[in-house]
Structure 1
Amino acid sequence: MKIVDVCAFYTPTGGGVRTYIDRKLAAGPAAGHDVTIIAPGATNGVEQRGPGAKIVWLQGPLFPIDRNYRYFADEVALHAAITAEAPDILEASSPWRSASMVARWPGSAPRSLFMHADPLAAFAYRWFEGLASPAVVDKGFDWYWRHLLRLDQHFDMVVSACDSLTDRLAAGGLRRVVTNPMGIDPDVFSAGLRDEALRRRLLHQCELGPDATLLLGVGRHAPEKRWRMIVEAVMSAAYHRPIGLVIVGSGRDSGKIRRTIGGNPHIHLADRTSDRAEMARFMASADALIHGSESETFCLVAAEARASGLHLITPDRGAAADHARQSGGTIFASGDATSAADAIGRFVDARAAGTLPVPPATPVRTMDDHFAALFASFEALRQPKLKRAA
């Protein structure tokens, strides 16, 4: 099966989408499929990733809001690239303009839209919090829901990676939504990788001793990740408790985050790493993962933290909350630094008293599970077409 994924969010400096696509480029050929990613780049070109796996780069302008990304500006060129690949299955990995371009491609291949992004949760709900509820914001952004409903008419399947997003899409009127959670890389993340010496070093970077609590944050330094709110919450919770916070990542908000930290020695910013083994040791050696964004559509970092044996402290909306609820984590009100500080305090106090709930012994889904289900759903979409051809 030839799978072509038009992925506007793919970039070498990206986060979760880059990790996912790189994994797909390995999983597809391993399952006997040919996978081509079409992505916007600085120049036109083809990057071969091995037998049956490649990236076709189409020159596109920089995205003005986040210059780590580019976008498709030439629909004719995109359609020509898709036609040249002759897909059996055509995917779109963004709900925006590129999905409309894919919908207008004149070929007959079945189409799947993967909701890698939840724009209202990432932007609009955050912009208007304190002024309007998500339900009221949805009414104000009715044009977005009308756009999704039009896409729903042109795509044979809309893939959501978490129940909370599936529920919102279905409530908004989409009829072809299926839930297929993503997962972690098998045999990479494990609680058995805990390294007490590494934990002591990380706490030492936070100018704290080994009796302190070590919180870990992982993700891009972008407004929707809410790192400044997390920093404020940690500083508040640490007023009467020894708490260190290490945030692994980088991005355009780094300067603002540093100014919020304001020289606090107990909060340390660490450069992002693409070394998965190193990240797995970081995960296993902390005491909890703290996450601020309620706009995640799967929250890969939360799944990796669960596999690493970490307690989760998350907002009460979005995919991170799904992971926390499934693993007995601690929840706070989305976007509320006071509530987040209270959640941190509850976790630290319960950990010190030995009263943290034991997480349920449920296995964390792997990416192999996800791709097996995804490829099976693609085969099911192809069957009516194959029968007609016969």
Structure 2
Amino acid sequence: MTHSLLQVLRHLERRGHDALVVAPRSGPIDRTLYGAEPVLLPSVPLPSYPDVRVTLASTHKLATILRGHEADVVHLASPFVLGWRGVLAAEAADIPSVAVYQTDIPSYAERYGIPGAAPVLTRHLGKLHRRADLTLAPSTSALDRLESLGVDRLALWRRGVDTERFAPGRRSRRWRREVAPDGEIVVGYVGRLAPEKQVEDLRVIADLPGVRLVIVGDGPDRPALERLLPTAHFAGFLGGDELARAMASFDVFVHPGESETFCQTIQEAMASGVPVVATGAGGPLDLVHSSRDGWLYRPGDLAELRSRVLDLTGDDAKRRAFSVRAREAVAGRGWDRLGDELIEHYEGAVALRRATRGERVGRVRRTRDAVSRSAVGERAADVPTSAPIASPRWRRYVAVGDSLTEGLCDASRVPAGEYRGWADRLAMLLALTTPAAEQVGYANLAVRSRRVDDAVTVQMPHAVGLGADLVTVLIGANDLVGRRVEPDALADRLDAAVRKLRATGCDVLLVTPFMPRRPATRLFAARFARFNARLRALAAETGSMLVDVDTMPELVGHDRWAEDRVHLNSAGHRGLAYAAARVLGVPDAQELGALERAVHAVEPVDEVSDDRTVGDLEWLRRHAAPWIVRRLQGRTAGDGRVAKRPDLLPIAVAADPSPGPTPMRRARRLG
């Protein structure tokens, strides 16, 4: 955070701007502020973390300081305590404020074991950012987090990386000999040694054969971590060129923290040509492309963390390939570019305040750098922050797949014996956000128990025949749980079919197949992981979009499965539909999802709903036994069945008599 702020000050100086830094006093300033004038206020240490200082300066005092500087804009760096006073002072001085969201304080409170603090801090966080004229978030997950708190004046502003300082050429044999004298593979972590970083999770890789774990950083948890990880090398705090040398000398970089809004050290590792293993939550989702320049693992799954690190430490060729791609992934992310973007945000906030003097500004449409939330593949170039997200353009949508896409166990608000499913819900969202004068045609070709062969030989050619301009594909789970299966061969079959679809000009949204997280499913985990890695590569190579369920564990939580334990319940289908909608760039998908969740949260659970759970004996009788019988007889549940919606039919959307229908208003009518 400090490094980012110093880079901003350096860029402002280069562009001829005058900066004033208001901060808690915590000792002498030992770094250049690039011409910025410092105002240091009395502060006290945070009891549980004395390196963090807190100041309670009055709003009047801060407003006086801002007026004295004749400030054009107030930059609130990681605002919370001083930042709250700062946003009030900016209002009092009639100066636009730009808040930079960098730290998930409520999550930190939970890690520090402060009982009952998280809800209070969450409310404060939302109130502060709603008060600012503009909030800049560093990642798509941070945007989602802030939107869930009702913050609507948002824009995406990532972090730059010094690609000259952090570079593969900094790699040092001497440094490696000092930390790994026996020539071990060096796996490193860089960051604070504090509860929110979850460094203790690294215990699962500390005993890997031929691996030396190196921990760079300092903080309150260091004594405990040294006891927990006696074989690790603790290098202490490093900065500047020392840090760059250490980073480039790693073979693998690992970061287990689940509360990162961005994670700058991941970028620095990638710039250094070091592949990354990080948790699939928060900021790392936007930085690490699984199976290309590193791996993301499911949050909390330490066995997967260990296996991902082992995968890279045990394969020199893969590690070298990932290293090259890691460096390529951060090309063009220099601080000059990000600094100019920040100044544009400042100018936008100033223009908004001038245009709406005396009243709160309206919504600033946030922007993302691509419609895909894939954990692999190159993202599209950033669009200007003032550009709105384009409305979906598709008018002929066809869904391809098996029982999940057919919608089994999603019986919400449909006649008995029928199912909705995530694809039906997605089609409705597309229709809701399409101009009233146009219609969306929708066909669902999915049939339960179908496999990849049926999808590529029957369903996908049918989609081409229907003239589809959007096809969603969720297939493969039935193949992958079979007795004999080669995930690569299976992926090759799907690869060829997707390329044919793309050659017609059709857009394709791939969804990685998934399983419930139960002990029995671990038998197939490696197959699913291999197949999904190929899907990520396919999406990147063909320009397809991707819903990577592995990186969104909330979609397959224990509460998302139906009574039969193998299909999603209504909540699961809703979650997958809105995840797909966000990938497609459906306007207001986040708000529509929150609205539907709110509606269903107050509805009683139907006693005959498929969302309920049953005991093991009842489950065996009702679900497992019939499946076993069918398998023994060589039958499937889909034998003799045809697609429920084989032709393109228009989606009926209820008319709204109120003027100027918006997606939210029309959705309210459907509720």
For normalisation by structure 2, the TM-score amounts to 0.48
Q: C-alpha displacement at 1:50, in angstroms?
A: 6.5
Match of 1:115 in 2: 101
For 1:186 and 1:235, how far apart are their aligned partners in 2? 30
Match of 1:55 in 2: 38
Match of 2:66 in 1: 82
Q: C-alpha displacement at 1:385, in angstroms?
A: 5.0
Q: Among residues 12, 20, 24, which one is paired with 2:4 in the alignment?
A: 20
Tell whether 2:183 aligns with 1:183.
Answer: no
Q: C-alpha displacement at 1:94, in angstroms?
A: 3.1
Tell whether 2:210 aligns with 1:242.
Answer: yes
Larger deviation, residues 95-104 vs 106-115: 95-104
- Contact 2:312/2:318 (8 A) holds in 1: no
Match of 1:8 in 2: none
Match of 2:552 in 1: none
Q: C-alpha displacement at 1:120, in angstroms?
A: 3.2
For 1:41 and 1:54, how far apart are their aligned partners in 2? 14
Match of 2:304 in 1: 339
How far does the alpha carbon of each residue in 1:280-305 deviate from its partner, in whole angstroms, 9 at most, with x for none? 12111210111121222221111111
Match of 1:311 in 2: 275
For 2:134 and 2:180, how far apart are their aligned partners in 1? 47
Match of 1:283 in 2: 247
Kindly report which structure 2 residues correspond to 1:1-390, keeping only aligned pairs within 5 A, or say none. Answer: 17-42=1-26, 49=32, 52-75=35-58, 76-105=60-89, 106-124=92-110, 141-204=118-181, 209-210=182-183, 212-230=184-202, 232-236=203-207, 238=208, 241-262=209-230, 264=231, 267-274=232-239, 276-325=240-289, 328-351=293-316, 357=322, 359=325, 361-362=328-329, 363=331, 365-385=333-353
- Contact 1:88/1:382 (8 A) holds in 2: yes
For 1:354 and 1:29, how far apart are their aligned partners in 2? 40
For 2:121 and 2:85, how far apart are their aligned partners in 1? 16
For 1:182 and 1:372, how far apart are their aligned partners in 2? 12
Instruction: Give the aligned residue type for 1:57.
Output: L
- Contact 2:109/2:118 (8 A) holds in 1: no
Alpha-carbon distance change, 127 to 73 in structure 1, aligned in 2, over 3 angstroms = closer
Structure with greater Cα Rg: 2
- Contact 1:61/1:71 (8 A) holds in 2: yes
- Contact 1:113/1:159 (8 A) holds in 2: yes
For 2:123 and 2:139, how far apart are their aligned partners in 1? 22
- Contact 1:63/1:71 (8 A) holds in 2: yes
- Contact 2:251/2:274 (8 A) holds in 1: yes
For 2:144 and 2:129, how far apart are their aligned partners in 1? 15
Instruction: Give the aligned residue type for 2:268.
Output: E
- Contact 1:61/1:73 (8 A) holds in 2: no
- Contact 1:47/1:54 (8 A) holds in 2: no
Higher relative contact order, chain-length normalized (CA < 8 Å, sep 6+): 1
For 1:284 and 1:46, how far apart are their aligned partners in 2? 28
- Contact 2:96/2:349 (8 A) holds in 1: yes
- Contact 1:46/1:55 (8 A) holds in 2: no
How far does the alpha carbon of each residue in 1:105-147 deviate from its partner, in whole angstroms, 9 at most, with x for none? 211111111112112333437869xxxxxxxx9xx95544443
For 2:177 and 2:30, how far apart are their aligned partners in 1? 42
For 1:355 and 1:29, how far apart are their aligned partners in 2? 39
- Contact 2:313/2:319 (8 A) holds in 1: no
Larger deviation, residues 363-372 vs 245-254: 363-372
SS of match in other structure, 1:259 = helix
For 2:65 and 2:300, how far apart are their aligned partners in 1? 42
SS of match in other structure, 1:67 = strand
Alpha-carbon distance change, 296 to 153 in structure 1, aligned in 2, over 3 angstroms = closer
Aligned CA RMSD, in angstroms, stands at 2.9
For 1:47 and 1:87, how far apart are their aligned partners in 2? 25
Identity over aligned pairs, percent? 24
For 1:383 and 1:353, how far apart are their aligned partners in 2? 49
- Contact 1:46/1:56 (8 A) holds in 2: no
Please list every run of 5 or more consecutive structure 2 residues that lacks an aligned counterpart in the other structure: 358-671
How far does the alpha carbon of each residue in 1:195-231 deviate from its partner, in whole angstroms, 9 at most, with x for none? 3343233211xxxx22x2111111111111122221x
For 2:42 and 2:337, how far apart are their aligned partners in 1? 34
Alpha-carbon distance change, 333 to 120 in structure 1, aligned in 2, over 3 angstroms = farther
Alpha-carbon distance change, 354 to 55 in structure 1, aligned in 2, over 3 angstroms = closer
Instruction: Give the aligned residue type for 1:278.
Output: E
For 1:259 and 1:61, how far apart are their aligned partners in 2? 30
For 1:320 and 1:388, how far apart are their aligned partners in 2? 37
Instruction: Give the aligned residue type for 2:139.
Output: C
Aligned residues: 349
Q: C-alpha displacement at 1:32, in angstroms?
A: 1.3
